[in-house]
Amino acid sequence: MKITMKKKKSALFPLTCALLLAAFAWNGCGGNDDEGQEAQGHSASIADTAAGGDASVSVKQKGTVRNDADAQPKSDKVIMVVVDALRADGLGCYGYSKDTSPTIDRLAKEGILFERMHSASPWTAPSFGTFYTGVSPTVHGAGSMLARGSSKGTTLFGVTVGGIRKDLPTLPKLLPAKVRKGAIINNSFVSKELGFARGVDDFNHKIAHLTRYRTADEVTDIAVKWLEEHKDGPFFLMAHYFDPHIQYGPPKKYLAQFAPDKPRRIAYPFVDHHPARDGTLKPNDAEKAYIRGLYNGEVRFTDDQIGVLIGTMEKMGLMDDTWLIITSDHGEEHFDHGSFEHGHRYEEEVVRVPFIVRAPGGKWKAGTRIADPVSHVDILPTVLDLYSVPSLPHFEGSSMLPLVDGKKRPDRTSYMEFNLFKGQQCALFDGRYKVVWDFRRNRAFMYDLKEDPGELTKLGKEHPMYEGMLKRVKARREELTRQARGKVFDKGELSQEAADALKSLGYIK
């Protein structure tokens, strides 16, 4: 059955719904890579936080509670909410002027907000692979483009992609055995076949199409049911909300707030991503505003349903003893740089994502904002840190919790790769400069985000930092390619502490 718009549901959802199998829906994400195309500024600037590649750690605390709030809470309950295609600058707590995110904004006030989290990739499968493994897509392999029909991958929508390599420990496998692991997933390429169910006790996966997918209220219902069953013991739950992903068709009650004036040739729901992306549509300003309004409605619908989840957790008493993480796999372009959607570019609207951590009770370090660049590779070490599980030597990132106390990091770069169409590119951001390298065509450009936060001006050889940044991104890709060819996880490199921990988890003997 074709569904063209989402149903409204009461905030009092049924708590008796059964666990469903969940899946990630993939949408072919291409883009145009015309270097001469005029760029447009995106809606929220990071000029105030782009402090340069060698700047010291910046920690801004607002409203931090003293006394009992000074000690980091200990809990073996964690919920990681991943909102698909959620750009950071589309949230109030990241500076957006529209009222899209009252729930997430509240969680940011009660928690720690990382201002510059960058995704591992501009599309879903590689980013989730990094959530699971703590390494870049080249190394873990999920989302790698294979020959069509290859037996080494999974073919969906005419595209064959690889999965997580089998010799890598994954997040669920690295958690203590006593922890119940659940995942509610709504993307076709984050599937059991590609390794994303490995170690998960309850893998609730449903394949989504652009016009048929589980809406936010359904995901919340499933999450609540799962929590009712497992709230009394240690748990890890990943809940994936798909709604801000194309199609854009929020429940009609959100139209008056965000998209009241429908242009004649723009459909509701909006699903014409191909002509929007390839330049055939050529929307005017009013049409662009309407399309962005539909997206904003999807964000607010999702935020409201996260609010329902939070409200139920409060009634269960879980908000006092559960860590809560809010993040995204990638952002979304709305003609900011002349194109649309995701998967094809490395400008901030596509690769800068939210990352918020709320401690149990909502008092520890409440209101802290971290300006240092962090990346998806840092998420797995951080989650393990919450469970007092040590990081492994092959992880590319490290726990973000020390940054909360103002500790410095020697390497502040964020690396991104694995776009889908229009050539193959990768990018490196050092806290001020971002270089994007098309390694198939061997051409590159750079942005200075301190002077040009909207990424309006492409810089080349004339800039004194260009050659150095280009060498750095080339060296990073060369090193990752070398690692991918060999053995990534080496038990012989483990410290005694890490070896003992992994033995206790049953991962090694």
Is residue 415's pLDDT more than 70?
Answer: yes
Residue 69 pLDDT class (50, 70, 90 cuts) = low
Does residue 120 or residue 51 have the better pLDDT? 120
Residue 411 pLDDT class (50, 70, 90 cuts) = confident
Work out the average pLDDT over 429-443: 95
Residue 250 pLDDT class (50, 70, 90 cuts) = very high
Is residue 500's pLDDT more than 80?
Answer: no
Q: In 10 A of CB 49, how many CB atoms?
A: 20
Contact 350, 338 (CB under 8 A): no
Three-state secondary-structure class, residue 414: strand
Task: Round the CA-based radius of gyration of the chain to a whole number and report it.
Answer: 21
Joined together, the tokens standing for residue 43 give 């809606």
Residue 243 pLDDT class (50, 70, 90 cuts) = very high
Query: Residue 467's pLDDT is what?
Result: 98
HSE-up (13 A, CA, CB side) for residue 31:
29
Q: In 10 A of CB 76, how many CB atoms?
A: 18
Query: Residue 145's pLDDT is what?
Result: 73
CATH number of the structural domain 59-505: 3.40.720.10
For the chain, what percentages of helix, strand and coil (3-state, to nearest 5) are there? 30, 20, 50
C-alpha–C-alpha distance, residues 203 and 190, integer Å: 11
Does residue 223 or residue 151 have the better pLDDT? 223
- Give me the chain's average pLDDT, please: 85
C-alpha–C-alpha distance, residues 148 and 161, integer Å: 8
Cβ neighbourhood burial of 5 (10 Å; 0-12, 13-18, 19+): middle
C-alpha–C-alpha distance, residues 72 and 366, integer Å: 11
C-alpha–C-alpha distance, residues 432 and 429, integer Å: 7
Work out the average pLDDT over 313-340: 96
Residue 445 phi, psi dihedral angles, 5° rounding:
-150, 170
C-alpha–C-alpha distance, residues 377 and 49, integer Å: 21
Per residue in 358-389, pLDDT (tens digit) is 999 999 999 999 999 999 999 999 999 999 99
Residue 47 pLDDT class (50, 70, 90 cuts) = very low
Residue 429 phi, psi dihedral angles, 5° rounding:
-120, 130
Three-state secondary-structure class, residue 400: coil
Contact 400, 375 (CB under 8 A): no
Cβ neighbourhood burial of 77 (10 Å; 0-12, 13-18, 19+): buried
Query: Residue 422's pLDDT is what?
Result: 64
Work out the average pLDDT over 30-47: 35
Residue at token pair 């050889």: 461
Joined together, the tokens standing for residue 108 give 């940011």
Of the candidates 54, 48, 42, the one whose C-alpha atom is nearest the C-alpha of residue 430 is: 54
C-alpha–C-alpha distance, residues 478 and 139, integer Å: 11
Of the candidates 197, 202, 239, 247, the one whose C-alpha atom is nearest the C-alpha of residue 219 is: 239
Beta bridge partners of 76: none
Work out the average pLDDT over 209-232: 91
Cα–Cα–Cα angle for 500, 504, 505, rounded to 5 degrees: 120
Cα–Cα–Cα angle for 430, 398, 26, rounded to 5 degrees: 75
Residue 15 pLDDT class (50, 70, 90 cuts) = very low
Does residue 156 or residue 340 have the better pLDDT? 340
Question: Pairing state of beta strands 414-417 and 425-429?
Answer: antiparallel
Is residue 139's pLDDT more than 80?
Answer: yes
Q: How far is the CA of 499 from the CAs of 108, 396, 509, in angstroms?
A: 36, 18, 9
289-292 contact pairs (CB < 8 A, 24+): 290/259, 290/261, 290/262, 290/263, 290/266, 291/248, 291/266, 291/334, 292/334
Joined together, the tokens standing for residue 393 give 């030597």
Highest mean pLDDT among 4-13, 40-49, 493-502 belongs to: 493-502
Is residue 335's pLDDT more than 80?
Answer: yes
Residues 6+ apart with CB under 8 A from 80: 131, 236, 237, 238, 239, 325, 327, 383
User: What is the pTM assigned to this prediction?
Assistant: 0.84
Query: Residue 432's pLDDT is what?
Result: 96
Joined together, the tokens standing for residue 487 give 């053995």
Residue 404 phi, psi dihedral angles, 5° rounding:
-65, -30
Cα 436 from chain centre: 20
Q: Is the peptide bond before 269 cis (omega within 30 degrees of 0)?
A: yes
The percent of residues in the chain predicted with pLDDT above 90, rounded, is 68
Query: Residue 157's pLDDT is what?
Result: 66
C-alpha–C-alpha distance, residues 122 and 471, integer Å: 22
Per residue in 259-275, pLDDT (tens digit) is 999 999 999 999 988 88
Is residue 481's pLDDT more than 70?
Answer: yes
* CB neighbour burial string for 190-218, b if at least 16 within 10 angstroms, e if fewer: bbbebbbbbbbebbbbbbbebeebbbbbb
Cβ neighbourhood burial of 295 (10 Å; 0-12, 13-18, 19+): buried
Contact 259, 293 (CB under 8 A): yes
C-alpha–C-alpha distance, residues 444 and 427, integer Å: 9
C-alpha–C-alpha distance, residues 239 and 84, integer Å: 11
Written as one letter, the residue type at 125 is A
Query: Residue 63's pLDDT is what?
Result: 36
Residue 501 pLDDT class (50, 70, 90 cuts) = low
Written as one letter, the residue type at 25 is A
